[in-house]
Structure 1
Amino acid sequence: MSETLQTAAVTDSDAELLAQTEIAVRTAGSALRERFGEVVGYETREELMRALAANDDTALDVLRPSLTQLRPNAGWVEDELDGGALPPGEWWVVDPAEGNVNHLHALPEWAVTATLVRDNQSVLTVVHLPLTGETYTALTGAGAHLDGRPLRVSQTANLDLSIVATSQARPDEDEEVVRRVGASITAMLFDALVVRTSVPATLHLVNVAAGRTDVFWQFAGARADLLPGALLVTEAGGRISDAEGRPWSPQSNSFLAAAPGVHAEAVSTLSR
Structure 2
Amino acid sequence: MPELIQTDADLLAETVTAVRDAGTVLRERFGDVVRHRTRAELMRALAVNDDAALEVLRPRLASLRPDAGFVEDELAGGALPPGEWWVLDPAEGNVNHLHALPEWAVTATLVRDNQPVLTAVHVPLTGETYTALAGGGAHLDGRPLRVSDTADLGLSLVATSQARPDEDEEVVRRVGSSITAMLLGALVVRTSVPATLHLLNVAAGRIDAFWQFAGARADLLPGALLVAEAGGRISDAEGRPWTTESASFLAAAPGVHGEAVTTLSR
TM-score, length-scaled by structure 2 = 0.98
Alignment partner of 1:213 out of 207, 210, 216:
207
- The corresponding residue for 1:232 is 226
SS of equivalent residue, structure 2 residue 215: coil
- The corresponding residue for 2:38 is 44
- The corresponding residue for 1:132 is 126
Deviations along 1:82-136, one digit per CA (max 9) or x if unpaired, are: 0000000000000000000000000000000000000001100000000000000
Distance 2:64 2:75 in 1: 24
Distance 1:87 1:210 in 2: 32
| CA apart distance, 1:78 | 3.0
Deviations along 1:187-242, one digit per CA (max 9) or x if unpaired, are: 00000000000000000000000000000000000000000000000000000000
SS of equivalent residue, structure 1 residue 152: coil
Distance 2:165 2:130 in 1: 26
Distance 2:63 2:22 in 1: 15
- The corresponding residue for 1:3 is none
- The corresponding residue for 1:96 is 90
Residues 1:75 and 2:95 are matched in the alignment: no
Distance 2:180 2:140 in 1: 32
- The corresponding residue for 1:61 is 55
23-32 vs 12-21, greater mean Cα deviation:
12-21
- The corresponding residue for 1:174 is 168
Residues 130 and 140, structure 2, Cα contact 8 Å, conserved in 1: yes
- The corresponding residue for 2:265 is 271
Within 5 Å, give how 1:236-255 maps onto structure 2: 236-255=230-249
| CA apart distance, 1:172 | 1.0
Distance 1:126 1:202 in 2: 11
Aligned length: 262
Deviations along 1:25-58, one digit per CA (max 9) or x if unpaired, are: 0000000000001000000000000000000000
Which letter maps to 1:201? A
| CA apart distance, 1:71 | 0.2
TM-score, length-scaled by structure 1 = 0.96
Alpha-carbon RMSD: 0.8
Residues 1:189 and 2:201 are matched in the alignment: no
Residues 1:145 and 2:139 are matched in the alignment: yes
Distance 1:80 1:90 in 2: 17
Distance 1:216 1:111 in 2: 18
Alignment partner of 2:104 out of 99, 102, 110:
110
Identical pairs, percent: 82
| CA apart distance, 1:12 | 6.2
User: After the TM superposition, which segments of 4 or more aligned residues of structure 1 sit over 3 Å from their partners?
Assistant: none
Gaps of 5+ in 2: none
